[in-house]
A = this chain, B = another copy of it.
Amino acid sequence: MTEKPPLNFWFEFASTYSYPAAMRIAPLAKSRGVAVRWRPFLLGPIFKAQGWDNSPFNLYPAKGRYMWRDLERICASLDLPFVQPAQFPQNTLLAARVAIAALSEDWGEDFCRALYRAEFGEGRDLAEPQTIAAVLTSLGRDAGAMMEQARDDAVKGALRAQTEEAQRIGIFGAPAFVAADGELFWGNDRLEAALDWTLR
């Protein structure tokens, strides 16, 4: 264990660039001796406060076309599977709630990575409860029990609180990395800088 306070990794399952970040963060953090706290949240309320009722990648088509191509290049360079999902953005409320519950156990990070792989590596739709159930089953978990747990008021409240915290500390997109001193980094391409910041 490191003695440093952990780096907060804020992610949203609908966020495309959170996919490579989620796949990269654990080994990079481990090699630097940095602990990471995984913080799922919802971008929807934050985008809404900025006046957007959709992903900016859909609202601004030139930017969206670029993002998909850029993501494809990034995945190729990392040897990550990539399939552009037919549905974008996806409704990730259930996914985020199950993740909140799963992250209280030691397989939570594996579950988050498996969800991202299903969505952007295989093009599956996380809005479908059966997608999430299948991922749980593939990890040897009791899908029914976890889906039930995700309906707990405590889990719903924890996700709401986390989303409000994200907005309060200045997060406007995902992925975001926030150090213990509040220093904010935005985007998969700032992951290394965020890890280095925690070691200053």
> Which residues from B are CB-within-8-Å of A70?
185-186, 190
* 18 new A-B contacts at CB < 8 Å, known A62-B170, A187-B189: A50-B60, A50-B62, A60-B172, A62-B171, A62-B172, A63-B172, A63-B173, A65-B170, A66-B170, A66-B172, A66-B184, A66-B186, A69-B184, A70-B185, A70-B186, A70-B190, A73-B193, A189-B189
Report how far A73 CA is from B184 CA in the complex, Å.
11
- List the number of copies, as a whole number: 2
Q: Give the size category of A's interface with B.
A: 20 to 34
Residues in B whose Cβ lies below 8 Å from that of A172: 60, 62-63, 66
CA of A66 to CA of B63 in the docked complex: distance in angstroms?
20
